[in-house]
Structure 1
């Protein structure tokens, strides 16, 4: 976000802070009823902000909402996504549920972000759709073991069944020798979403796509390292070296 002008940068920091806060509630907000109650308070705070009532939780969002005409429905969609995690530990959702989850926790963030970045309305929503799903699928593949430790498994049920993997516990699924088959399909799917996002950004003003181009470039590096490592045990959490981040900045003319 540091590559953005001040007003855009501050707006994105506020959006990120909101996302971080509701994610923390969903993951660490106590018992399930307590988590859902915490998310309900956030939902009420967003509704109050759009009704002109300031709360401590949303005071930082008021100017970005006004200046960039951010849509209430997208903030609520993010909370809906966090409620999916808060209600129960997601384990092997069907494809439709996984896509809905990706839309809520990632593409909805993208729909807010493209307005801040200044992407044209005719391409902004499609860019949010494709890049959001690309980033979230990459996150899912990167965080397999971390999510399993929390009792979660975001790999789609249909792909697990197709690979002959019994859907039992997350840790058992991740130890199955056929897991790389599922990983390969999701890698290909994520690359397709990145390609679609790149095609959209190529038709936009370069200044409006500086931040999403950099996010896409960095996450493509993560995806490539995941492919290089593979999905057989033992797996290690993939990180991008600082030198590769600097190269990505240079390649995209951001420094």
Structure 2
């Protein structure tokens, strides 16, 4: 076992996602290692595109264009999926997870498409567009994480994707101003228009009241996906169900804080305290236990459906086979 690689992945998680770092400690050791390795690869790809240095990023060349860096991520990911010897730690980590758990190559490339959308500066005109972006950056990560937990049932995978969508909708609501400062907007432009806002003025301090309404709408739109994900807990091993229920509770609470804060939602980054996380650990345990005693219910038909839920994934996603 590559202990330095695991140590670096653990540190990356601790710094990059305090919310999920807490929940990840609940996994059994084997699952936790794979979850950390997968997260480290995702974080590395994000950092490479943004030119940051949180994860395995010592070799980032700030002079390279984002397009060139994206091409490098695709090449290295393809090599990792093919089982070629990997020297780069982030891709060695991903390769270990992908080969051990049979992660479909297309899912890795679906995730990279989320970064490609950022590189292209692609805007979300409708809520469906926002959900498609959420799928690429987080929903497909839910699919890969579920496979790490041993899930192969398509219905349970749907719920895992729903949780990723809910997480990302929450993240978007929390980070609206921070994203705007980077020149990025993931809000549906149609929602901005309905609130009397434009792409040019929505982040202005004078527009906080209208923007708070849009953020609250986004938080509420995440709720059906959180509920759907909770119905999938029974399809996970008990310790994994506890970890997932806890992570869901932490992220959901962040959304609640954004909604309640109104115009002050972006005065400081919304998060949960150690005491709140402790309470959510207990609540997560209760939800995981209760999930063993309830029967499954059909996934609501009006929820956004992930691309390629059965066959024809690449065609449905609008992406080439890789």
- State the TM-score, normalizing by the size of structure 2: 0.72
* Structure 1 pair 92–232 and aligned structure 2 pair: CA distance change class (3 A): farther
CA contact under 8 A between 1:43 and 1:76: conserved in structure 2? Answer: yes
Aligned positions, number:
253
Cα distance in 1 for residues equivalent to 2:242 and 2:206: 36
| Structure 2 match to 1:36 | 67
CA contact under 8 A between 1:148 and 1:170: conserved in structure 2? Answer: no
Cα distance in 2 for residues equivalent to 1:187 and 1:234: 14
Cα distance in 1 for residues equivalent to 2:209 and 2:278: 36
Cα distance in 2 for residues equivalent to 1:201 and 1:242: 24
CA shift at 1:219, angstroms? 0.7
Q: Does 1:60 align with 2:93?
A: yes
| Structure 2 match to 1:48 | 79
CA shift at 1:112, angstroms? 0.4
| Structure 1 match to 2:107 | 74
Cα distance in 2 for residues equivalent to 1:132 and 1:70: 16
Matching residue within 131, 147, 151 for 2:163? 131
* Structure 1 pair 209–120 and aligned structure 2 pair: CA distance change class (3 A): farther
| Structure 2 match to 1:8 | 31
Q: Does 1:152 align with 2:184?
A: yes
Q: 1:227-242 counterparts in 2 under 5 A?
A: 227-231=259-263, 235-242=267-274
Cα distance in 2 for residues equivalent to 1:109 and 1:173: 34
CA shift at 1:51, angstroms? 2.2
Cα distance in 1 for residues equivalent to 2:170 and 2:244: 15
Name the stretch that deviates more: 73-82 or 176-185: 176-185
Structure 1: gaps (5+ residues): none
SS at the partner of 2:184? coil
CA RMSD in angstroms comes to: 2.4
Structure 2: gaps (5+ residues): 1-23, 52-59, 287-322
Cα distance in 1 for residues equivalent to 2:74 and 2:261: 40
CA contact under 8 A between 1:175 and 1:232: conserved in structure 2? Answer: no
SS at the partner of 1:253? helix
